[in-house]
């Protein structure tokens, strides 16, 4: 079965999903199930003090027996904050050390600060984390992050939560061609065709959150995304026909046409 490997572990689903922006945990669970995702991102935040402790938690809705958690560093603008957050996450999840590193540069665009990202990645890899790193579509930075020892490179398609789709397939292609670790397109996917295009470029997987959570019907969109990732992957493996710019060629025979 087609699968890809992150830090030595195989995954058959090439769709990774976030757990944010849902109406409630029930919708989160149903959407994640419909997506077929095996890896889900979570954020690390202060617990609400004074809240009813018997309230179910996110991890109850998505049991660790079924899902691999990927704690993120959303909201971190410095390497120090990201490192601190992931160390807390590792403690929270009993030593689980597969993590998503993101260090943001500005709150309006949420564009990654790649300099701080490189700094954080060095420290985290040395500290034994298996780092899946969110980054820009700069091929040099992507390679440097790989050389630092990140287990997956996650270049953006476009701005987080924007749904703008794939802005620069050429850069993504360069990153994919040069990478020796999995490439997961992360951020900016808006609809099914975006996910399919990413897979057709040859990336290993796609990570999305808003595209599903903010669809009118998140459950239906989750299954659409599952199909899109599968379709895009199959098209990639099938080897597409070459593009013939402005050169048409009929698919029906040119001989035996009546009336000629």
How big is the chain by its Cα radius of gyration, in Å?
20
Among 9, 21, 100, 244, the active-site one is 100
Residues 60-99 that bind another protein (CB under 8 A): 69, 71-72, 74, 84, 87-89, 91-94
Q: What minimum distance in Å lies between the beta carbon of 188 and another protein?
A: 11
Is residue 128 a contact point for another protein (CB under 8 A)? no
CB of 45 to another protein, least distance (A): 5
What DSSP element (H or E) covers 231?
helix 218-238
Q: Min. distance of Cβ 40 from another protein in angstroms?
A: 9
- Tokens read off for 41: 């991102």
Residue whose C-alpha is closest to residue 153's, from 111, 121, 115, 194: 121
26 touches another protein (CB under 8 A):
no
In this complex, which beta carbon is closest to another protein, that of residue 45 or of residue 240? 45
What is the rounded distance in angstroms from the CA atom of residue 209 to the CA atom of residue 21? 8
C-alpha 150/C-alpha 143 separation (Å) is 10
Rounded CA-CA distance 236/183 in Å is 15
Residue closer to another protein, measured from CB, 152 or 174 = 152
Would you call 244 a catalytic residue per the annotation? no
> Position of tokens 């903010």?
214
* Minimum gap (Å) between residue 62 Cβ and another protein: 9
Q: Which two tokens stand for residue 38?
A: 């095996």
- Within 8 A by CB and 6+ apart from 85, the residues are 44, 71, 73, 76
Span 149-178, contacts to another protein by CB under 8 A:
160-161
Annotated active-site positions, please?
100
Instruction: Point out which residues bind another protein (CB under 8 A).
Output: 18-22, 28, 41-47, 49-50, 52-53, 57-59, 69, 71-72, 74, 84, 87-89, 91-94, 160-161, 208-210
């Amino acid at each position: 079965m087609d699968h890809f490997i992150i830090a030595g572990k195989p995954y058959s689903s090439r769709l990774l999903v976030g757990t944010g922006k849902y109406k409630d945990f029930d919708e989160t669970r149903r959407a994640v199930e419909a997506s077929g995702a095996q890896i889900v991102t979570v954020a690390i935040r202060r617990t609400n003090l004074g809240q009813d402790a018997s309230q179910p938690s996110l991890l109850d809705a998505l049991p660790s027996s079924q899902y691999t958690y990927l704690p993120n560093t959303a909201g971190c603008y410095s390497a120090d904050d990201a490192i601190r957050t992931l160390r807390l996450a590792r403690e929270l999840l009993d030593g689980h050390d597969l993590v998503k590193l993101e260090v943001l540069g500005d709150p309006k665009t949420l564009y990654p600060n790649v300099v701080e990202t490189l700094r954080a990645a060095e420290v985290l890899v040395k500290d034994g984390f298996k780092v899946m790193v969110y980054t820009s579509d700069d091929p040099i930075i992507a390679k440097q992050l790989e050389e630092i020892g990140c287990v997956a490179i996650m270049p953006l398609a476009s701005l987080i939560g924007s749904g703008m789709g794939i802005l620069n397939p050429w850069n993504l292609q360069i990153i994919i061609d040069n990478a020796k670790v999995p490439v997961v397109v992360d951020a900016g996917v808006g609809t099914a065709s975006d996910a399919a295009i990413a897979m057709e470029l040859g990336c290993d997987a796609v990570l999305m959150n808003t595209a599903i959570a903010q669809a009118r019907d998140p459950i239906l969109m989750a299954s659409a995304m599952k199909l899109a990732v599968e379709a895009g992957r199959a098209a990639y493996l099938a080897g597409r026909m070459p593009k013939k710019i402005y050169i048409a060629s009929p698919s029906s025979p040119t001989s035996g046409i009546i009336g000629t």
